[in-house]
Amino acid sequence: MATEVKVPTLGESITEATIGEWLKQPGEPVKADEPIASLETDKVAVEVPAPVAGVMGAHLAQPGDTVNVGATIAMIEAGAAGAAAAPAAPAKAEAAAPAPAQQAAAPADGEQVMTLSPTVRRLVLEHGLDPSSIRGSGKDGRLTKEDVLAAASAAKDAPTPAAVPSTPAPTAALPEIGGRKEERVRMTRLRQTIAHRLKEAQNSAAILTTFNDVDMTAVMEARAKYKDLFEKKHGVRLGFMGFFVKAACQALKDVPAVNASIEGDEIVYRDYADISVAVSAPNGLVVPVIRDAQTLSVAQVENTIGDFGKRAKDGTLKLEEMKGGTFTISNGGVFGSLMSTPIINPPQSGVLGLHRIEDRPVVRDGQIVIRPMMYLALSYDHRIVDGREAVTFLVAIKNAIEDPTRLLIDL
């Protein structure tokens, strides 16, 4: 008797997904709740668990296919191939001594694969690596993307055995003209969604960007003075984002239009700040939301952002964690960006872009001095936010960062 594997409910308003990869092939034994496939949605990668134990049957959809919620994508046949194979091995132990060792190793490999995130698992398969031979640097020894890439690089640099040249190179099938190569890769659903939403924002909103700069001296001094005590007490490093999130919450209260949105012919104003923070994930940029950020301490903000960053890398962010933000902060400075014009995330009306910190000459009290400066960029929907309000908002951010005491006394 066969059991159908259906596309699970993926969250509110999510009706379809794309098959990312099959983690189990036909004929392989599966355990109940073991991941057998990964799906790519508009936001994150989602694993499909086996509804029952048995043997993997036919795949009814292939990687790259779009499937609807509730659709049948595979079958699991009754049986326990994995369990049946184990008792048979001792009976032929003398005739085939290597067989038990191979069978014993198979479950261990299966358990290792079960702990891999979809992104890491995909990299392992692409590079043909044995995950059990790679030392994980993540929590509880979990493999990260960087661990796999480092192992792949080490394998590439290692001396190649004589038998290996007979194996075709992965790029052999690519068109080659005069030594130049091209490769066509299907856009992931996440990348397609990013492209669609960014273009939609440009088409539907009147986007304008205003700039300012901020002297980071006070925040950097505070961070240097308290970072050890902060980390010891709260278990997380004291970064810059905590200061900027709190400064943004205060500025949004002073300039509520930046925290508002247009719905039909109405403007919706909010007395809360759900701050979306742009986080880099293996398949693209995601924006999980810090709910009610105005009520959180700097430590709580830093803990939340740290958790988002880790789970974005592992591909375990939840769909509901990336919905409903009212304002976005994007820190391109971590990649070395000097200045940018970020695009708003509809239906939001504003996004704050942070950039790299660099020493520049500035005038203080009539003297030219060197200060660690950062450019700030506020992109906003000019249909709802006036230029005066945009400048006022940026100046409020600048004042709070240059004098963090303002954050304590609500100035």
pLDDT, one tens digit per residue, over 111-154 is: 444 456 666 766 776 777 777 778 777 656 767 777 778 887 78
Domains 1-79 and 189-409 fall in the same CATH topology = no
Pairing of strands 266-268, 289-290: unpaired
- Six-digit token string for 144: 């990260």
Has 382 been annotated as catalytic?
Answer: yes
Is the pLDDT at 226 greater than 60? The verdict is: yes
Catalytic residue among 147, 386, 403, 410: 386
Q: Mention the CATH class of domain 115-162.
A: few secondary structures
Is the pLDDT at 42 greater than 70? The verdict is: no
Higher pLDDT, 324 or 41: 324
Are 212 and 379 a contacting pair, CB within 8 Å? no
Nearest to 70 by CA among 21, 167, 26, 4: 4
Has 386 been annotated as catalytic?
Answer: yes
- Each domain of the chain, given as residue ranges in start order, spans 1-79, 115-162, 189-409
Confidence band of 63 (pLDDT split at 50, 70, 90): confident
- Six-digit token string for 395: 């100046």
Nearest to 302 by CA among 351, 353, 356, 231: 231
Catalytic residue among 228, 382, 403, 410: 382
Question: DSSP letters along 320-344, please?
Answer: GGGS--SEEEEEGGGGT-S---PPP
Q: Which fold has domain 189-409?
A: Chloramphenicol Acetyltransferase (3.30.559)
CA angle 294, 298, 300 (to 5 degrees): 85
DSSP state of 54: E
* Amino acid sitting at position 359: D
Is the pLDDT at 381 greater than 90? The verdict is: yes
Considering the domain 1-79 in this protein, what is its CATH number?
2.40.50.100
Distance CA 126, CA 106 (A): 20
**What is the reported pLDDT for 146?**
75
Higher pLDDT, 148 or 81: 148
pLDDT, one tens digit per residue, over 255-301 is: 999 999 999 889 999 999 999 998 877 666 788 999 999 999 999 99
- Six-digit token string for 186: 């299907």
Cα separation values, 192 from 18, 42, 254, Å = 11, 8, 36
Region 48-52: mean pLDDT is 87
> Would the pTM count as exceeding 0.75?
no
Confidence band of 96 (pLDDT split at 50, 70, 90): very low
Nearest to 61 by CA among 43, 74, 79: 74
Distance CA 321, CA 323 (A): 6
